[in-house]
Amino acid sequence: MRLTRKVAVLLGVAGIGVVVLAGTVLFGVLGQGAMGKAMVADWRGRLLDQQAQVDAMRDRSRAEAQAVGRQLAQMQARLVRMEALGARVTAVADLDEGEFAFSEPVPQGGPSVIGEAALPWTELRGELDGLARDLRARESQLEVLESLLRNRDYRKDAAVAGRPVKWGWMSSPYGHRVDPFSGKRSWHAGVDFAGKAGSEVIAVASGVVTHAGARYGYGEMVEITHGDGYVTRYGHHAEVAVALGDIVKKGQVIGLMGSSGRATGPHVHFEVLKHGRQVDPARYVARR
Ligand SMILES: [Zn+2]
């Protein structure tokens, strides 16, 4: 093909034009693409941030709900225990059950505070408040029972008297002594009765078991509440034979002698508390 010079120049100019145009378009597209990518990355980053915040919030509220749930479960367990205790005390004391129907809900009323659109959280709070109310009501019922029992025959064995062991000897009196562990002068808040490991430890008076299990310094310990402000404690058991809430009679076996906790050998650490303060058990031990 033969080209005229004019045509060749025109074609050349057109060719350059096409290249420049294509280059411009291509550059523009590429530039826009890069900008778009940056924007997407930016938005993605923000979304991730927000997602993390939402996750953190959800974790926090979940932890809070779990804590409240645990509290609720503990209160419910306490209520069940109190109901069982109340039912037993009612039976033992031969009281009119109608007056202290522990298994029935406590009479209560008032307008509902939980609306139709109430949040689960509000419901939970409402339930907690209701439970706290129930607990208070049960507690006051138990107090009434306790005061009723005080004037009954049942109380005759509730006076703290006698020894916490059938066989054994008093190995350490109440008061100041040299601590068998530290060698320093210290206060001994009870009396010790030493004996054969595994021999029977008995309740010195009837009452309700208010602790049964390990306690710091006491080892395996049983605590009995007798009423009239009296409480007795029996420490260092090899084995505890009663459970929390049990009603025990005077002379009943509550555990086996051992040396659990802070003990140099098998013995019972025996304490008498009057209105929350340890007193010398010797005069109670001497009583018949
Ligand atoms: Zn002791």
CA–CA distance, 199 with 164 (Å, rounded to integer) = 11
Burial tier of 47 (Cβ tally within 10 Å: 0-12, 13-18, 19+):
exposed
Model confidence over 201-245: pLDDT tens digits? 999 998 888 899 999 989 999 999 888 889 999 999 999 999 988
Q: What is the pTM of this model?
A: 0.52
Parallel, antiparallel or unpaired: strands 253-257 and 169-172: unpaired
Q: How far is the CA of 82 from the centre of ligand 1 (A)?
A: 31
Calpha distance 1→21 (Å, rounded): 28
- 198 phi and psi, to 5 degrees? 90, -5
pLDDT tens column, 64-101: 777 777 777 777 777 777 777 677 666 666 655 555 55
- For residue 270, report the distance from its CA to the centre of ligand 1, in Å: 7
How remote is the CA of residue 262 from the centroid of ligand 1, in Å? 9
Is 178 strand, coil or helix? strand
Task: Give the β-pairing of 267-274 and 277-279.
Answer: antiparallel
- The answer to whether the CB of 159 falls within 8 A of the CB of 132 is no
The Å distance, Cα 259 to ligand 1 centre, comes to 11
pLDDT tens across 123-141, in order?
A: 777 777 887 777 777 776 6
**Distance from Cα 12 to the centre of ligand 1, integer Å:** 114
Q: What percent of the chain has pLDDT over 70?
A: 76
How far, in Å, is the centroid of ligand 1 from the Cα of 186?
Answer: 11
Q: How far is the CA of 187 from the centre of ligand 1 (A)?
A: 10
Alpha-helical (H) ranges within 93-193 are 120-150
More confident call, 144 vs 165: 165
Q: What angle do CA 8, 11, 17 make, to 5 degrees?
A: 145
| Per-residue confidence (pLDDT) for residue 264, from 0 to 100 | 87
- The rounded Å distance from CA 235 to ligand 1 centre is 8
73 C-alpha to ligand 1 centroid (Å): 36
User: What is the CA 142 to chain-centroid distance, rounded?
Assistant: 22
* 260 C-alpha to ligand 1 centroid (Å): 12
208 CA → ligand 1 middle, Å: 22
- At the topology level, CATH places domain 169-286 in Glucose Permease (Domain IIA) (2.70.70)
212 CA from centroid of ligand 1 (Å) = 18
Ligand 1 centroid from CA 120, angstroms: 52
| Domain range annotation of the chain | 1-151, 169-286
Of 129 and 281, the structure prediction assigns the larger pLDDT to 281
| Higher pLDDT among residues 155 and 60, named by residue | 60
What mean pLDDT is predicted for residues 259-282? 93
Mind spelling out the 3-state secondary structure of 92-118?
HCCCCCCCCCCCCCCCCCCCCCCCCCC
Tell me what the pLDDT averaged over the chain comes to: 80
